[in-house]
Homo-oligomer: A and B are copies of this chain.
Amino acid sequence: MTAIKVGLVGIGAQMKENLLPSLLQMPDVRIIAACDTDRARVTEIHRFVPGIPVKDSVVDLLKDIHVDALVMAGPPQMHREAALLAMQRGVAAFVEKPPCSTLAELEELVDVANRHGVVTGVGMNFKFAKPIRQLREMTTSREFGDTLFVQINHYANKPRTPLWGLDSSLRSFLLAQAIHTIDLAVTFGRGELIDVRPRVQRHSDGLIVNGDLTFSSGVTASLLSGTTFPYFEFQMKVVSSTSTMVELDNLWNMTVHEPEHGTNVTGVAKRWRGTWQPGPLDSGYERSGYYGELLAFFDAVRARGCFEADYASLLPTYRVIEAICQEETESAFEGLSLRSQSRSEHTAIAL
């Protein structure tokens, strides 16, 4: 198999902790160049891949070196600008989330991708996390029945202030954190997103965002997230028409509650459930999805096919993000006297 030639853009924490290790252990992928505006950071790459050319701009990298794909990790503005440059040269463009700041920008990226016929990707690692893949498989099995309800609790404690030069900490939070939650709701909701009912609470510099998404499939997804939590944790439940409920706790433990369960020594009996834990030595980047997302992206690059987490896949997610931002803006106009509940009266947001 011919190796894919990759250029790295943005050699910061996310690149070094998650993307680079995944790339280094991936077969038939060659890191052949790197670029960062910070000279000290970009030369760090030589501790892992000696001798490759390093650049201080994406323009130079693309001009001087032939790469099949760029893998980028930085702020959304950089993602957007660099992705546009790459796509215009026919180079596949994988960016960390978020790919950009607004729905309009995303639509532009999708449009350019379509026009140039390049493979694109966003680092939606939750979607590719091994237990989420298992969950997707389980919940699409015949035995599970039809998904009726999805509950996702995604606890975060940041960002408490606006990121990336944005003026809204709500938008920053949605782009940095809730993008995963919403994307998972869209993934498990299936069908078209037809209704969003968000509710935003602010207390000091912290946010609590919750609400329901409804899909044409009949699935309702109830989301809880925000920055007023003590630390990052993640829990997900899916309930089906066969009265089966699958739980995922923190990408580690799964529980299947089903009306009839038991063991060989008990036979089917009340209150028994099936639980799963990873083995003690579970290692690597498959559990967290960093390996899986890049592997699938490069498969698409090789096949000139479609990557599941391409830019277009995020359109419903950005529509929800815009709906939530819009809802808070409108509430603000109504004045404090109406209190928080009034924020939510604009529920039938056109999608």
Contacts and interface: CB of A to CB of B under 8 A. Distances in A.
Interface of A: 1, 3, 17-18, 20-21, 24-25, 27-28, 30, 47-48, 50, 125, 134, 138-139, 141, 143-144, 146, 148-149, 151, 153, 155, 157, 194-195, 197, 199, 201, 203-204, 206, 208, 210, 212, 214, 216, 218, 220, 222, 224, 228-234, 237, 239, 241, 243-246, 250-252, 255-266, 269-285, 287-288, 290, 339-341, 344-345, 347-348
Lowest 10 A-B CB distances belong to which pairs? Answer: A27-B47, A195-B341, A263-B274, A21-B25, A256-B263, A214-B341, A283-B288, A24-B24, A250-B280, A281-B288
A152 to B, nearest CB: 12
A18 B283 contact: yes
B341 A138 contact: no
A218 B20 CA distance: 45
A265 B271 contact: no
Q: How many copies does the complex hold?
A: 4
18 contacts: A3-B50, A25-B48, A148-B228, A149-B224, A149-B228, A199-B212, A199-B220, A201-B220, A210-B222, A222-B222, A228-B241, A229-B245, A230-B259, A233-B257, A262-B274, A266-B276, A274-B274, A282-B287
A279 B259 CA distance: 14
A245 B230 contact: yes
Contacts of A276: 266, 269, 271-273
B252 A252 contact: yes
A272 B214 CA distance: 32
